[in-house]
Amino acid sequence: MALIDTRDLYKIYQVGDVEVKALNGVSVAIEPGEFVAVMGPSGSGKSTFMNILGCLDKPTRGKYILDGIDVTATDLSKLAGVRNHKIGFVFQGFNLIKRTTAIENVELPMIYNHTPAAQRRKKALEALEAVGLAQRAYHLPNQLSGGQQQRVAIARSLVCDAPIIFADEPTGNLDTKMSIEVMDLFTRLNKEMGKTIILITHEPDIAQYATRLIKFKDGQKMSDQRQTPTGAKLSATEEEEHA
Amino acid sequence: MLDSFLAVFKISLKAIFANKMRAALTSLGIIIGVAAVIVVLAVGTGTKKSLADRFSNMGTNIIFLRQPWDLDSSISSPKDVTMDDVRAIREVKGVAAAAPYIQSSFSVKYKNTSVSLSALATDTDILKAYDWSVEKGRSFTEKEVSDYAQVMIIGATSAQTIFGDVDPLDKTVVLNNIPFTVVGVTKKTGSSGFGFNIDEGVLIPYTTAKVKLNTGGWNNSNRNALDRVVIKAEDFNAIENTKVDIQNAVRNTHHIHPLGKDDFQLDDMASFVEQAKSTGTMMSLFLGIIGAVSLVVGGIGVMNIMLVSVTERTREIGIRMAIGATSWNIRLQFLVESMTLSCMGGLIGIIIGIVATQLLVKYMPSLSAQLSISSIIISAGFSAATGIFFGYYPAYKASKLTPIDALRYE
């Protein structure tokens, strides 16, 4: 059974008298362990699609089954728990809470599922270790570089053992070197931990890290094809060039 | 669950301490409000208690008859209160005692000692009315009263002041150049209430005072006029009926037409106490309202800051929601935050209120402020309630944000 299964998703906004179809009948099935890149120009509906997949929004019509849960039949207010258990989010702007330390940021999702304090700390440290930032656990976000902040955000997406990571332009605010760092990390999480990763990007280089590429245009899926990730190679060549 | 609540609490504390100055200013309204409520209630409680103490010393069965100070001008020829009234009142059912009462100040001389004292011109019924008792010697006889005898009963403290260790009985003291023989000494009452304090005064027959001591409060154009009549009712619970009977008796002696107005006034302690208490309650209420208003103003300050805080942290709310916070979690966080703000304000306010009350007790003892536990509990409760009440709307507003809108907010 597919981990993510959408059938004929429509999202229609009423702007004055005009109906705007942000999504116009999208059906996608994603299996566990896939690394999917979603591309498309702005206004193509990819963000709307991602919001629905991330249980942050609901479609106007259509069906969305996430890991056996019929999201479209679930009340929006009850989706908080689904997000907590099934999905880890990584955003373009990192979205860390500024006045709390890295480890407290990573602990945050566990506060909302009532994990005991001692276990919270332990799991948060493990997650930070997995992204290579254990020694920065007690730094505030503004004491970390952009790449490090994004890695903290990734650690935060891991702590609840959610099977899926949604990454919305995760490298958008990062320079090339940091982007490579972050994308390598995603690749590792995908390969070693079996995380299903869904990545929105408009940079073809970044999309190259994925094993499957879905392109959107005008609210519809334009193409959907599997690919051999070449991102790792790219980064290797770039490193050689730098050297 | 508790762990998570503690975590939310910690988050709220952090948010507050991230903006210390702002938190302090926000709490200021609550601090002032709570401190004001505590001080005001302390003063109110103290005043009421001291009033009650003073009145209970005087006996609540007592009724005073006197001519009103603000006599109705429509009464053409008001009659003085006289012994005729006293005699009539003594016949009224339910009256235990009725005594004439004329008070004046005099200097009392004994050998080389001269002391200024309060003298009460009355008769022996006064002892019954006020529950005073003669400890040494005796009271006046009826004959002494009717014969204008120059006799005196002396209060315990007065006796000590004038005579020291000498036995006062049968000694002669001079009051306004007229010699009086001491026939009795009253037992110390220890009262310091309103009106006449027997411990520090003397009693003489009203007849003697009227005829021979024609000065001071006793110098009245009407030889028979009394300051007032002190009446003791037998039963406190029937005091209203007794008062009506007395009123009828006095109207009778004053020959007042059935439709005419009273030219006299009857006051009983119960109505004094009630009046004093209700004045005290009104005062407490009024001052309490001022305190409550400042609490409300403080609460509005809390609400204002919480609304600003929600707007400022819209994005943070979005992040929390995206990673699994429910609307309820968000609402709780902001409620805890506003409650913490107002409870911290409340706590500081309570401390300031207690310190201020202690200072009042020390430097303004006449206010007789008295700290009451209930006022502390009330104001603590009020500040928490302020936090909930004025924090609810901002918290509700925060919890109603949708995650996408909140995340998009710049």
CB-based contact B346:B382 (threshold 8 Å): yes
Give the pLDDT confidence score for residue A150 in this predicted structure.
93
Alpha-carbon span B162 to B175, nearest angstrom: 13
Closest to B106 (Cα-Cα) out of B96, B98, B114, B97: B114
Give the pLDDT confidence score for residue B209 in this predicted structure.
87
* Residues B198 and B305 occupy one common structural domain: no
Of the candidate CATH numbers 3.30.830.10, 2.102.10.10, 1.10.10.10, 3.40.50.300, the domain formed by A4-242 belongs to: 3.40.50.300
Q: Measured between alpha carbons, how far apart are the two ends of chain A, in Å?
A: 46
* pLDDT tens per residue across span A72-105: 898 877 889 999 999 999 998 889 998 889 999 9
Element (H, E) at A95: none
Q: Residue A161: helix, strand or coil by DSSP?
A: coil
Alpha-carbon span A81 to A66, nearest angstrom: 13
Contacts of residues B290-295 at CB distance under 8 Å and 24 or more positions apart, as own/partner, are B290/B36, B290/B40, B291/B33, B291/B34, B291/B36, B291/B37, B291/B40, B292/B33, B292/B37, B292/B382, B294/B29, B294/B32, B294/B33, B294/B36, B295/B29, B295/B30, B295/B33, B295/B34, B295/B37, B295/B382, B295/B383, B295/B386
Give the pLDDT confidence score for residue A240 in this predicted structure.
46
Cβ–Cβ of A117/B8 closer than 8 Å? Answer: no
DSSP A169: S
Confidence of residue B217 (pLDDT cuts 50, 70, 90): low
- Kindly state the average pLDDT of the residues A39-55: 89
Token pair, residue B225, equals 């006029």
Instruction: Name chain A contacts of B333, Cβ cutoff 8 Å.
Output: none
Residue B279 counted as domain residue: yes
Confidence of residue B192 (pLDDT cuts 50, 70, 90): low
Q: Which of A51, A80, A96 sits opposite B321 (nearest CB)?
A: A80
Percent of chain B with pLDDT over 90: 24
Confidence of residue B268 (pLDDT cuts 50, 70, 90): confident
* pLDDT tens per residue across span B139-163: 998 889 888 899 999 999 889 888 8
* pLDDT tens per residue across span A49-60: 999 999 988 899
Interface contact A220, partner B, CB < 8 A: no
Region of residue B193 (phi > 0: left; psi between -120 and 50: alpha; otherwise: beta): beta
pLDDT of residue B125 exceeding 80? yes
Q: What residues does each domain of chain A span? A: 4-242
Interface contact B314, partner A, CB < 8 A: no
Instruction: Name chain A contacts of B11, Cβ cutoff 8 Å.
Output: 100, 111
Residue B189 counted as domain residue: yes
Give the pLDDT confidence score for residue B54 in this predicted structure.
67
DSSP A145: -
Give B349's contacts (C-beta < 8 A, 6+ positions apart). Answer: B30, B31, B32, B33, B34, B35, B38, B379, B383
**Residue A18 or residue B46, greater confidence:** A18
Interface contact B406, partner A, CB < 8 A: no
Give the pLDDT confidence score for residue A64 in this predicted structure.
94
* DSSP state letters, B327-365: HHHHHHHHHHHHHHHHHHHHHHHHHHHHHHHHHHHHH-G
* DSSP state letters, A193-227: S--EEEEE-S-HHHHTTSSEEEEEETTEEEEEEE-
Q: Which of B1, B3, B322 sits opposite A56 (nearest CB)?
A: B322
Give B211's contacts (C-beta < 8 A, 6+ positions apart). Answer: B148, B223
Q: Which of B4, B320, B327 sits opposite A114 (nearest CB)?
A: B4
Give the pLDDT confidence score for residue A184 in this predicted structure.
92
Token pair, residue A79, equals 């989706």
Interface contact A119, partner B, CB < 8 A: no
Residue B63 counted as domain residue: no
Q: Which domain holds residue B246?
A: 68-263
- Kindly state the average pLDDT of the residues B167-192: 87
**Residue B214 or residue B402, greater confidence:** B402
* Residues B339 and B240 occupy one common structural domain: no
Bridge partner list, A240 = none
Bridge partner list, B204 = B121
pLDDT of residue A116 exceeding 70? yes
pLDDT of residue A243 exceeding 50? no
Alpha-carbon span A19 to A12, nearest angstrom: 6
* Residues B188 and B218 occupy one common structural domain: yes
Element (H, E) at B324: none
* pLDDT tens per residue across span B14-41: 888 888 898 898 888 889 888 888 888 8
- Kindly state the average pLDDT of the residues B337-360: 91
CB-based contact B88:B96 (threshold 8 Å): no
DSSP A171: T
Give the pLDDT confidence score for residue A231 in this predicted structure.
60
Closest to B183 (Cα-Cα) out of B175, B172, B199: B172
Interface contact B94, partner A, CB < 8 A: no
Token pair, residue B94, equals 């339910």
Percent of chain B that is helix, strand, coil (3-state, to 5) = 60, 15, 25
Instruction: Name chain B contacts of A111, Cβ cutoff 8 Å.
Output: 4, 7-8, 11
Distance (Å) of CA B114 to CA B7, B175, B185: 79, 10, 18
Bridge partner list, B119 = B104, B202
Interface probe, candidates A50, A87, A111, chain B, greatest B C-beta count within 10 A: A111
Looking at every residue in chain A, the average pLDDT score rounds to: 89
Nearest residue on chain A to B18, judged by CA atoms?
A99
Give the pLDDT confidence score for residue B374 in this predicted structure.
82
Give the pLDDT confidence score for residue B131 in this predicted structure.
84
| Predicted model pTM | 0.67
* Residues B102 and B234 occupy one common structural domain: yes
Alpha-carbon span B288 to A106, nearest angstrom: 48
Give the pLDDT confidence score for residue A241 in this predicted structure.
46
Closest to A215 (Cα-Cα) out of A229, A202, A206: A202
* pLDDT tens per residue across span B69-117: 777 777 777 888 888 899 999 999 989 999 999 888 888 888 888 888 8
Interface contact B407, partner A, CB < 8 A: yes
Give the pLDDT confidence score for residue A138 in this predicted structure.
95
- The b-or-e profile of A166-195 (16+ CB within 10 A means b, else e) is bbbbbbbbbeeebbbbbbebbbebbeeeeb
pLDDT of residue A233 exceeding 70? no
Q: Residue B118: helix, strand or coil by DSSP?
A: strand
Give the pLDDT confidence score for residue A239 in this predicted structure.
47
Token pair, residue B278, equals 């209700």
**Residue B409 or residue B349, greater confidence:** B349
Measured over the CA atoms of residue B332, residue B333, residue B339 and residue B343, the dihedral's sign is positive
Domain boundary residue, one of B238, B263, B288: B263
Interface contact A117, partner B, CB < 8 A: yes
Give the pLDDT confidence score for residue B42 in this predicted structure.
86
Interface contact A122, partner B, CB < 8 A: no
Alpha-carbon span B62 to B271, nearest angstrom: 11
- Kindly state the average pLDDT of the residues B209-238: 77
Percent of chain A with pLDDT over 70: 95
* Residues B323 and B247 occupy one common structural domain: no
Residue B60 counted as domain residue: no
* Residues B101 and B215 occupy one common structural domain: yes
Give the pLDDT confidence score for residue B55 in this predicted structure.
65
The ipTM value here is 0.89
- Kindly state the average pLDDT of the residues B372-384: 85
Instruction: Name chain A contacts of B316, Cβ cutoff 8 Å.
Output: 97
Residue B269 counted as domain residue: no
Alpha-carbon span B290 to B26, nearest angstrom: 19
* Residues B343 and B400 occupy one common structural domain: yes
A196-200, strands of its sheet edge to edge: A87-90, A164-168, A196-200, A35-39, A212-217, A220-226
Closest to B177 (Cα-Cα) out of B228, B84, B106, B272: B106
Domain boundary residue, one of B263, B292, B307: B263
> Into how many domains does chain B fold?
2
Q: Measured between alpha carbons, how far apart are the two ends of chain B, in Å?
A: 33
Give the pLDDT confidence score for residue A189 in this predicted structure.
93
pLDDT of residue B56 exceeding 70? no
* Residues B337 and B242 occupy one common structural domain: no
DSSP A71: G
